[in-house]
Amino acid sequence: MGAIVTVGCQWGDEGKGKIIDVIAQEADCIVRHQGGNNAGHSLRIGDQDYVLHLIPSGILYPGRRCIIGAGVVLDPLVLWEEITHLRSRGVAVSPENLMISGNASLILSYHRLLDGLDEEARGAARVGTTRRGIGPAYMDKVGRLSLRVFDLIDADRFRERLRPVLQHKNRVLSQVYGHAPVNYDEMLATYLPMGEKLAPFVGDEVPELNAAIDAGKRVLFEGAQGALLDVTYGTYPYVTSSSTGAGGACTGAGVGPTKVEKVLGIAKAYTTRVGEGPFPTEADPATADLIRNAGPIGEFGATTGRPRRCGWFDVPLIRRSVMASGVTHLALTRLDILSEVSIIKVCVGYRLGRHRLEVAPADAALLSQVEPEYEEIPTWGVDLSGITNEADLPSGAREYLRRLEDWVGRPIQMVSVGPGRRQTIIRAESLFS
């Protein structure tokens, strides 16, 4: 078995970090391929919590090769801080176990500045960005204005490429936003030392990854955000700026789709969403509050601390993600949270006027008009967080899994019942088979 791509099937925050961490135990190489430091995977290892924004979670295992692909937009200051922080906690991070693609586009100070200014200027067209410069950095990538990691590690090239780009950015800053310019020399003073520090990590992921897969190495592509936030197929405009679906692994890490053997869709046992946009199965405020505060780690953003909107499992939405990413298997997370609610509902279809929809509509405007059709599932009311064998699950929880598999049409291979590594039921001999 070669490569597994993991993809969040909802609006992000599905618990991908934990699932990826468990699979990473079996992997040789772990790859991040899209997004930037707007993602935040939270991991609990023993009694230690880690939040990783850029570096693949495989870094926490000795001997794994971690790669940041060219599809990522990379803030060198944030990456260096993450490396330093991990090292201060005793995690080895070196060019032996971490490689950064030289073709990754940089997030620089003016991207962060423009992210905030642009969001303010949009008024009612705001999308709720994290203001970390991710959107403007992707705009520059597509607009062919990016400076890349290869530029950063060559001081002369950085000086030369930055000058005209910064002149252009400063015209936008002053003429569009009435903002003071960004100083060229200050940027050099900030970023050139970063280039020196990061240079030993820089490489070319294309030959390395293709050779690894061809040699039978187990390669894990870790998705950030969720399929419904995909810039093309998500609930536009309330999406992120990158391709979060499984195809993003190919375009963001330089491997072809023929190399991907399995796509693992990760979904929570219910649904959450951050920020604006339609959410058909959003629960009433009291139930949403219950779900949000249940369990050891509530539904609040790992990176932003924002409370998440909470609601029921939405089969039509998952079916859409399964199709758009070619999901072959599922991992279900946070099943333990449902022990605390007094009814469990699952949306199995939508009504839209006289029509019944099995799959969420492509148009986000229609998604805000659909009426969910619910089925109620018997509750189990038993704490699941200590269960590691499927046979020990209460019959209600097993029934829930069986019915979700039927509705979605894909086998659930992993069930997570808590944030810890061991709080996982694995329903397969090997995750790479």
Of the two residues 64 and 148, which places its CB atom closer to ligand GDP in the complex?
64
Q: Three-state SS for 203?
A: strand
> Are residues 274 and 301 in contact, defined by beta-carbon separation less than 8 angstroms?
yes
**Interstrand relation of 313-314 and 329-333 (parallel, antiparallel or unpaired):** unpaired
Which ranges constitute the DSSP H helices of 178-276? 184-198, 205-214, 247-253
Of the two residues 99 and 337, which places its CB atom closer to ligand GDP in the complex?
337
CB of 345 to ligand GDP, least distance (A): 19
Of the two residues 53 and 262, which places its CB atom closer to ligand GDP in the complex?
53
Of the two residues 15 and 76, which places its CB atom closer to ligand GDP in the complex?
15
Q: What is the DSSP string of 136-195?
A: HHHHHHHTT---BHHHHTSHHHHHHHHHHHHHHHHHHHHHHH-PPPPPHHHHHHHHHHHH
In this chain, which of 111, 218, 292, 334 binds ligand GDP, going by CB under 6 A?
334
Q: Is 44 in the site for ligand GDP (CB under 6 A)?
A: yes
In this chain, which of 401, 417, 425, 431 binds ligand GDP, going by CB under 6 A?
417
CA distance 77 to 109: 10
Q: Is 14 in the site for ligand GDP (CB under 6 A)?
A: yes
Q: Which residues are CB-contacts of 73 (< 8 A; sequence separation ≥ 6)?
A: 35, 36, 104, 105, 106, 107, 133, 134, 137, 138, 141, 242
CB of 333 to ligand GDP, least distance (A): 4
Q: Is 333 in the site for ligand GDP (CB under 6 A)?
A: yes
In this chain, which of 1, 182, 192, 297 binds ligand GDP, going by CB under 6 A?
297
> Are residues 336 and 384 in contact, defined by beta-carbon separation less than 8 angstroms?
yes
CA distance 394 to 152: 55
Q: Is 290 in the site for ligand GDP (CB under 6 A)?
A: no
Q: Is 336 in the site for ligand GDP (CB under 6 A)?
A: yes
How many chain residues interact with ligand GDP (CB under 6 A)? 23
223 DSSP assignment: P
In this chain, which of 9, 10, 13, 254 binds ligand GDP, going by CB under 6 A?
13
Of the two residues 71 and 419, which places its CB atom closer to ligand GDP in the complex?
419
Q: Is 295 in the site for ligand GDP (CB under 6 A)?
A: yes
Q: Is 309 in the site for ligand GDP (CB under 6 A)?
A: no
Q: Is 45 in the site for ligand GDP (CB under 6 A)?
A: no
Residues that bind ligand GDP in the complex, under the rule CB under 6 A = 8, 13-18, 40-42, 44, 295-297, 302, 333-334, 336-337, 416-419
